[in-house]
A and B are shown apart, each in its own frame.
Chain A
């Protein structure tokens, strides 16, 4: 645009001059982009103000986790449905729902229809009475009179979908979260789901001595599927993509050099570095984006 106007005035003047038109076409405002060097230099104070923080490369552990959901259930071995051995009339009931019972505690007396003798019905399980279908005078046939459940040992049944099934194995550690409580446990076994659902179930025993867990609760679980020692690990946020390569910036004085790295296993926080970084290298652990931004900024322009 500048040059049109300039030219037009040129023309006018030149024509007035009755000289020949020999206008030049200058562009003097173009700055040459210096060939970028693959290195960023940042003053120490400014690096500090930019909150660029470095760390030394060390060995570490990569803990790979998978998140799954599930539900807490009774332990089938810890639930007891008590019936009358002989049909008869219930004479007396000693317990209420919610009572704790021990093995051998007498729950009720029944008068047998056949022998007309009173016999006690005893608990075979230590636990809590959670169901009572017996009142004095009622007939006891073969219905369940009492249900006793023991909550001290319950299970979490975690749904493992096909995507995760190769990763999750019995014996792996699980962190279970439910109702804002957390506990650590171990996968006992993995079984197929009921009714041919497209997932497997990982069963995890929960020790509930403190009685803080209930059954039927939705839980989330972090299964530690892999925990390995790695020679060099860096925080995952230290890794940036530059020209489709993963790089870590290594600090040398006031210079930051992008090292192209090969990454191995990774968890939520840390990533294993297979090559490109040596132990003891000082690398940028926080705000590495700023350095990437500086490295690539020559290409950043604003077109209207």
Chain B
């Protein structure tokens, strides 16, 4: 079949050229549609359902909101699991769907379910789905600030309420319209509210209750349309405007008439513009600010979207009120550009090196050019493939592309073609077209099988990567997919485009000057090979010793997951003890930011404390995400300082600040962690049940057992940390005496402390809530609450302490649930011990020693589970892959022995990889692992090319020794070429130090080192083995 394809390609060569041009055009078109990002998106298919419940404590949130929402979701198709969080004023249910579920389908399903339970939720609360975004979604952040030194005409400074108003009503609506932006989130400042702060004494004086005030405000804040009238042929609309517009309007609302005198709001209360009870704050360089975050729709091109957001921000900045500034503080474009630049640089330099090598070694400019042409064509075809497969261009997906490797097949065919053409021309002079085509066909056909097999084998070795699931899968599937697509494209091109291009363009005299380099190498190689065959035991022993040595080296090396992508910025979680108030946190944050800003390497510091308006990241107020934007490395004053060094310096300084704990991470990394958010420890034991105290007790029991098991590390029970809570418990007997209901008392408490909404003030489009509550000083004073008068239905009042007990006691700060049940997690890591046996021991001990309350159950999870399944999968997939490769080799040679000989190249190749890693002091990592995978492929390919020639010759001549020598000599050039292009193609990657290069460096290092060792060994060990194994047959 291949033969006929080659034949057709040569005959219909112009058609092939046109087809290639179409492919190029398609590729160029697709370049514009290719999503570009820094890293692959590893977020799972999830929908967050947030319900804001102002005033609700964790327990109420769980009972009244989270539970009904969770129950409603049961049985949704494709549901993987649900988990939920109930906090102060927020219920968040995260619904995770099976991989591959369409997110819009999922959201539709949820929407339907939520619609059905609306009536079961407390009035006024609506669950809302979080924005359709992913871990890469936070692409652009900006602050809204007052210009330093600017004062308004009345001499005052622009305050945080005004800034937030500008953010919410001027900036946000505009940014939300930018294509690709799904949501704009705000944190910081205060939502503007009109506050009516009644004085309880004055209320008593006139016998006015909170209800009266609320009712009065609601009844006096209406616009009413009244249809139209027709007068004198004219239609006149009728309306009665009665809405409250200003503080003055509110003050003059009449609450009640008291002995003919109207009592107005101003008689019993003060009205002012007040601050909402906020759940989050933003700070920048030691001052409060308002922070906006543009969130990208899932699947969009982050670079493009961030870019258009930046442009829009620029536009908006001109239209803002005087004295207000909008400052971009984080722009994903920067990172993506840097990362893509790194990749581009690597790829271009690699491609150029490959072209140079091709030219030098082929000694024919046209031939080199044709082979090199494969590179851009493959790239474009791959891009089309990526667009089609929905793979985004990023450090991981493009990180394993090596053009040297890709053109290997083409190189082999090209090399053979020009060799044969040159030989033919030497014999017959200039060839007529027909004969020339014949030669090209033969030359291609001669090597197509080995190169086809080789490329297929390289492709096959990537298969184990596809068997990874979860996060690892998401990281490495795109990489494997891209490489496989590129290899397949190159494969097809090598037996269509290459022969037809050779047929068209190599029409003149084929100058095949073997370059001096090759000739010199050949002259050295021949005696060396002969010598090696003589000293075969020594060589074989040496090779085995080398394998043994690197096998040992391998066990001594450190390991890491994937080398961390340096985002160029820092994110410091500043964590305080639970229960720390937001104002206190902001004060502590000011000091932290001031200290951070003192570092000359730091460009900007800004932070988010607590939860933003849309609770995509529901942090409690005691946790702050501190973004530290660093200057580009080349602007650092101390050029020897590394990022790690800077982190250590920073840590040293900020550790002295009292009351803060820190975790260092990076912006994107953090988002991923937040969204994936499973149990990240080796062993996670989840206890499900009803009673939080019992759960905690069981958790502690399990913890103490785990701590006795050998190899345990970092064992801890999930913090259901206690939050200080003021419980106002009604005294029922006493209330009965005064004729009060629990609800009456609770209403007073709610209005006095939390405040009740009493309508809305409209200012044009803008809407601001009217809130009735006590003034700040009174509502903060716990003693004051004791004396808070509760009005009686009979008139008169009773102090709160008379009808309720006020207790300050800790209560849970959050309630976590999973799959519809409360749970507490005990986590542990395992050190210096086999994870499997640890888990088994833990399981047995827990089963025998811990007695769970009736109706409680355990679930074992954690990394060990994934590890088990991954191991299980890989222990099937890897041998199968090897078997496939071996099968292919056997198929190619119909000889078990030959296949084995070629296979011997693999360990030899790996030695070089390991040694080069060791020389560069790099740990083993998944990236390096991918390098090893690629390497095995290259090694097999080399061996294949070499061996197939020896075999042919041997078959033709029947003389083993000379066939081996001759075969090796003939294949020296292609072997060297494929090796050189493959390794040199990776050189820029191995040396680059730009942003993102840390991901690719180990891979490239492994491949380069491995190819060097594999080539040397292919050139010597393989002929020796072949000769040795087949010699008795001779």
Among the listed B470, B787, B867, which residue makes an inter-chain contact with A68, where contact means beta carbons less than 8 Å apart? B787
Q: How far is the CA of A43 from the CA of B677 in the complex (A)?
A: 37
* A299 closest partner in B (C-beta): B577
Interface residues in B, total, Cβ within 8 A: 88
A16-24, A55-63, A76-84 - interface stretch: A16-24
Q: How far is the CA of A68 from the CA of B802 in the complex (A)?
A: 12
Q: How far is the CA of A40 from the CA of B658 in the complex (A)?
A: 8
Could you tell me if B468 and A293 are in contact, using CB atoms closer than 8 angstroms?
no
Could you tell me if B576 and A302 are in contact, using CB atoms closer than 8 angstroms?
no
Q: Could you tell me the distance in whole angstroms from the C-beta of B675 to the nearest C-beta in chain A? A: 8
* A8-B468, A12-B932, A220-B201 known; A2-B737 Cβ under 8 A: no
Which residues on B sit within 8 Å (CB–CB) of A22?
555
* A7-B867, A298-B661 known; A16-B588 Cβ under 8 A: no
Q: How far is the CA of A272 from the CA of B875 in the complex (A)?
A: 71
Q: How far is the CA of A304 from the CA of B669 in the complex (A)?
A: 12
Q: How far is the CA of A178 from the CA of B588 in the complex (A)?
A: 40
Question: A69 interface residue, CB < 8 Å from B?
Answer: yes
Could you tell me if A46 and B932 are in contact, using CB atoms closer than 8 angstroms?
no
Could you tell me if B738 and A46 are in contact, using CB atoms closer than 8 angstroms?
no
Question: A251 interface residue, CB < 8 Å from B?
Answer: no
Could you tell me if B830 and A25 are in contact, using CB atoms closer than 8 angstroms?
yes
Could you tell me if A25 and B835 are in contact, using CB atoms closer than 8 angstroms?
yes
Question: B701 interface residue, CB < 8 Å from A?
Answer: no
Question: A27 interface residue, CB < 8 Å from B?
Answer: yes
Q: Could you tell me the distance in whole angstroms from the C-beta of A264 to the nearest C-beta in chain B? A: 17
Counting chain A CB atoms within 10 Å of each CB, which of B658, B789, B799, B801 scores highest? Answer: B658
Which residues on B sit within 8 Å (CB–CB) of A68?
787, 799
Could you tell me if A300 and B661 are in contact, using CB atoms closer than 8 angstroms?
yes
Among the listed A46, A50, A300, which residue makes an inter-chain contact with B576, where contact means beta carbons less than 8 Å apart? A300
Which residues on A sit within 8 Å (CB–CB) of B801?
161, 163
* A33 closest partner in B (C-beta): B714
Could you tell me if B867 and A4 are in contact, using CB atoms closer than 8 angstroms?
yes
Counting chain B CB atoms within 10 Å of each CB, which of A25, A289, A291 scores highest? Answer: A25
Could you tell me if B907 and A18 are in contact, using CB atoms closer than 8 angstroms?
yes
Q: How far is the CA of A224 from the CA of B863 in the complex (A)?
A: 63
B145-153, B175-183, B558-566, B972-980 - interface stretch: B558-566
Question: B438 interface residue, CB < 8 Å from A?
Answer: no
Could you tell me if B863 and A17 are in contact, using CB atoms closer than 8 angstroms?
no
Could you tell me if B202 and A26 are in contact, using CB atoms closer than 8 angstroms?
no
Quick one: CB contact mask for B577-604 with A, threshold 8 Å, 1 for yes? 1101000100110010010000000000
Q: Could you tell me the distance in whole angstroms from the C-beta of B272 to the nearest C-beta in chain A? A: 18
Question: A96 interface residue, CB < 8 Å from B?
Answer: no
Question: A303 interface residue, CB < 8 Å from B?
Answer: yes
Could you tell me if B863 and A5 are in contact, using CB atoms closer than 8 angstroms?
no
Q: Could you tell me the distance in whole angstroms from the C-beta of A175 to the nearest C-beta in chain B? A: 14
Q: Could you tell me the distance in whole angstroms from the C-beta of A275 to the nearest C-beta in chain B? A: 23
Could you tell me if B786 and A67 are in contact, using CB atoms closer than 8 angstroms?
yes
Q: How far is the CA of A15 from the CA of B560 in the complex (A)?
A: 20
Which residues on B sit within 8 Å (CB–CB) of A12?
464, 874, 878, 929, 932-933
Q: How far is the CA of A273 from the CA of B663 in the complex (A)?
A: 39
Q: How far is the CA of A18 from the CA of B924 in the complex (A)?
A: 18
Which residues on A sit within 8 Å (CB–CB) of B657?
46, 50
Q: How far is the CA of A66 from the CA of B786 in the complex (A)?
A: 10
Which residues on A sit within 8 Å (CB–CB) of B576?
293, 297, 300
Among the listed A4, A6, A218, A291, which residue makes an inter-chain contact with B924, where contact means beta carbons less than 8 Å apart? A6
Q: How far is the CA of A303 from the CA of B623 in the complex (A)?
A: 10
Among the listed B584, B680, B882, which residue makes an inter-chain contact with A16, where contact means beta carbons less than 8 Å apart? B882
Which residues on A sit within 8 Å (CB–CB) of B882?
15-16
Question: A292 interface residue, CB < 8 Å from B?
Answer: yes
Could you tell me if A8 and B802 are in contact, using CB atoms closer than 8 angstroms?
no
Question: A49 interface residue, CB < 8 Å from B?
Answer: yes
Question: B3 interface residue, CB < 8 Å from A?
Answer: no
* A50-B658, A292-B577, A293-B658 known; A28-B558 Cβ under 8 A: yes
Which residues on B sit within 8 Å (CB–CB) of A25?
830-831, 833-835
Which residues on B sit within 8 Å (CB–CB) of A212?
none
Question: B77 interface residue, CB < 8 Å from A?
Answer: no
Q: How far is the CA of A8 from the CA of B562 in the complex (A)?
A: 13
Q: How far is the CA of A24 from the CA of B682 in the complex (A)?
A: 14
Interface positions, chain B 451-509, Cβ under 8 Å from A, are 464, 468, 470-472
Question: B871 interface residue, CB < 8 Å from A?
Answer: yes
Question: B54 interface residue, CB < 8 Å from A?
Answer: no
Which residues on B sit within 8 Å (CB–CB) of A217?
205
Which residues on A sit within 8 Å (CB–CB) of B619?
302
Question: B1028 interface residue, CB < 8 Å from A?
Answer: no
Quick one: CB contact mask for A22-43 with B, threshold 8 Å, 1 for yes? 1011111010000000001011
Interface positions, chain B 598-635, Cβ under 8 Å from A, are 619, 622-623
Could you tell me if B682 and A3 are in contact, using CB atoms closer than 8 angstroms?
yes
Question: B554 interface residue, CB < 8 Å from A?
Answer: yes
Could you tell me if B863 and A1 are in contact, using CB atoms closer than 8 angstroms?
yes
Counting chain B CB atoms within 10 Å of each CB, which of A17, A18, A42, A268 scores highest? Answer: A17
Question: B333 interface residue, CB < 8 Å from A?
Answer: no
Which residues on A sit within 8 Å (CB–CB) of B201?
69, 177-178, 218-220
Could you tell me if B584 and A69 are in contact, using CB atoms closer than 8 angstroms?
no
Among the listed A5, A161, A290, A300, which residue makes an inter-chain contact with B575, where contact means beta carbons less than 8 Å apart? A300
Counting chain A CB atoms within 10 Å of each CB, which of B584, B713, B799 scores highest? Answer: B799
Question: A144 interface residue, CB < 8 Å from B?
Answer: no
Q: How far is the CA of A18 from the CA of B878 in the complex (A)?
A: 12
Instruction: Pick 14 A–B contacts, CB within 8 A, sort by A.
Output: A1-B680, A3-B682, A7-B871, A9-B924, A9-B926, A9-B932, A12-B464, A15-B878, A27-B713, A50-B588, A69-B201, A163-B801, A217-B205, A301-B661
Identify 16 new A-B residue pairs, CB closer than 8 A, beyond the known A12-B874, A25-B834, A42-B656: A5-B562, A8-B871, A16-B882, A25-B833, A28-B558, A30-B713, A162-B802, A163-B801, A290-B584, A293-B577, A294-B658, A297-B576, A297-B577, A298-B661, A301-B661, A303-B719
Instruction: List 8 tightest A-B contacts by C-beta distance, closest first.
Output: A9-B929, A293-B659, A2-B561, A218-B205, A67-B787, A294-B658, A304-B677, A294-B659
